[in-house]
Amino acid sequence: MKFKLIYPKWPKLNRQTEFHLPPHGPVVFAGSLPDDVEVDFVDENLEPIDFNDPVDFVGISMMLTAQVKRGWEIADIYRKNGIRVIFGGISTMLHAEETLNHADAVFLGESEGKMEKVFSDFYHNRLEKVYDYMDDRPPTEMIGTARRDILKRDLYNYRGVQMVDLVHASRGCRFNCYPCAVSYLGGRQFRPRPIDKAIEEMAAIDNNRLFIVDNSLAQNTEWEMELFREMIPLKKKWCSHPIEDDPKVLDLAAQAGAWYVYQTIFDTSDYIRGRIRRYKDHGIAVEGSILLGLDTHTEDSIKRLIDFLLEIDLDMAEFTVLAPFPHTRAFEDLSRQNRILSRDWDDYTADRVVFLPKHMTPEKLQELFYYGWDAFYRDESQEFKMFKLLRQVTEREAADQTYRPRRRDLASRAFGREARQGFGD
Ligand code: SF4
């Protein structure tokens, strides 16, 4: 039984240095498949799909709204040739009704414990159109080790530097932030995995550098501290979404190998200034996620925000414009106010303005998006800032003797040399 699992391509953020992380959803999903299923994984961002390759069944895994139209196209090609196609993943849940028009089946929810039935239905020619398990989430004890063996690992590097491996220690989120669909997807419930299972999985990954992709680690102080305590002996270096702003927690995170965090920065308050400083005081670098186009934003406030990012010495910044993804509060508000300008999902790349901003024209917001990238990286390019982050981690690896000289390290030195040459450093 050959199952081709496809991750459709999507355009990367305009202005951002292009690199590709190994995807997480498909490898976690693959871990939940019955043992007799042979998985052939194709990440279309990095290799073309061979539509002539014989397969029994096709799965299309979609994480982003910007992937859905390409996912539908791929499914249409296979279905025309009589191959049945099932869709799953976050964006399938956000676009379930439209996806049904291109699918033999759509799977909604988390797959652990559910795939035996789906594949049995496939074998017996009785696939259901919709497998809706959104309100029937598996206990997190059932989450197994992700099938990273299906990845073609050599593809995931940037100029020879191996990318981080992705892993998760929890699901869900108890918050309900304005532009985010996680509460729709996960029911506003924080669901930690058993710490020993998450640690076992991290320990087994043949990569010293990880990205812990949990929505936010700042959900439960005791759990977070316990996780970090258990991570210390692994000596991994990792990035993550926010860590709780508490000196005890930050201290343990640093001991556990926290390398840098992605932190949303939405204003120029003293609180944010202090939050960034506290990360840095613990040796944790910060990449800001900067979302432009909120109703509180004016042209002046956005320019002030960008000055502020430089003042607080952020290590990196990723600028996006608000995209009202389905099943978010932003989508509900902007739809109700008739402010959505495009419902072409290919436009939902988070670098194109698809709605009418409150205090400026869409064109002005688009211009400010480019201004943000250009102003922030004017004195030091993205590549140079990336190189500085990389240097931080290699120095720490050398200090705790987890530095493993491999081909990738030679490549990273070459990358550093090139980056430095650009700046006379
Ligand atoms: S943005 Fe992050 S913290 Fe906020 S609801 Fe979404 S996942 Fe949770």
What does the pLDDT look like over 236-245, one tens digit per residue?
999 999 999 9
Inform me whether the pLDDT recorded for 11 exceeds 50: yes
Q: Which of 74-88, 148-162, 254-268, 299-313 has the lowest mean pLDDT?
A: 148-162
Q: Measured from the CB, is residue 216 less than 6 Å from ligand 1?
A: yes
pLDDT value of residue 303: 98
Do the Cβ atoms of 40 and 5 come closer than 8 Å?
yes
Q: Name 311's bridge partners.
A: none
Do the Cβ atoms of 70 and 184 come closer than 8 Å?
no
Residue 331, helix vs strand vs coil: helix
User: What's the 215 CA to ligand 1 centre distance in angstroms?
Assistant: 6
In this structure, the residue with its CA closest to atom 2 of ligand 1 is: 215
pTM for the whole structure: 0.93
Ligand 1 pocket test, candidate residues 168, 173, 325, most atoms within 8 A of CB: 173
- Nearest alpha carbon to residue 285 among 310, 313, 305, 266: 313
How many angstroms separate the CA atoms of 71 and 41, rounded? 14
Q: Measured from the CB, is residue 182 less than 6 Å from ligand 1?
A: yes
Atom of ligand 1 nearest to the CA of 174: 8
Would you state the structure tokens that stand for residue 221, as one six-digit string? Answer: 């102080």
pLDDT value of residue 405: 54
User: What's the 422 CA to ligand 1 centre distance in angstroms?
Assistant: 37
pLDDT value of residue 403: 66
Do the Cβ atoms of 234 and 199 come closer than 8 Å?
yes
In the numeric block, the tokens 């190994």 are attached to: 22
In the numeric block, the tokens 């202090």 are attached to: 274
End-to-end CA distance of the chain: 55
**Which phi and psi (to 5°) does residue 84 adopt?**
-80, 145
Do the Cβ atoms of 41 and 26 come closer than 8 Å?
yes
pLDDT value of residue 323: 97
Span 371-376, average pLDDT: 98
Inform me whether the pLDDT recorded for 299 exceeds 70: yes
Q: Which of 115-124, 158-167, 187-196, 409-418 has the lowest mean pLDDT?
A: 409-418
Do the Cβ atoms of 224 and 170 come closer than 8 Å?
no
Atom of ligand 1 nearest to the CA of 175: 5
- The per-residue pLDDT of the chain, averaged, comes to 93
- Nearest alpha carbon to residue 397 among 217, 233, 263, 209: 209
Element spanning 255, H or E: helix 247-255
Q: Measured from the CB, is residue 329 less than 6 Å from ligand 1?
A: no
In the numeric block, the tokens 């680690």 are attached to: 217
Do the Cβ atoms of 273 and 307 come closer than 8 Å?
no
Span 308-337, average pLDDT: 97
Instruction: Provide the pLDDT confidence category of residue 161 given band limits of 50, 70 and 90.
Output: confident
Atom of ligand 1 nearest to the CA of 180: 6
Q: Measured from the CB, is residue 176 less than 6 Å from ligand 1?
A: yes
Ligand 1 pocket test, candidate residues 215, 291, 322, 329, most atoms within 8 A of CB: 215
User: What's the 179 CA to ligand 1 centre distance in angstroms?
Assistant: 9
Element spanning 68, H or E: helix 68-80
Tell me the one-letter amino acid at 99: T
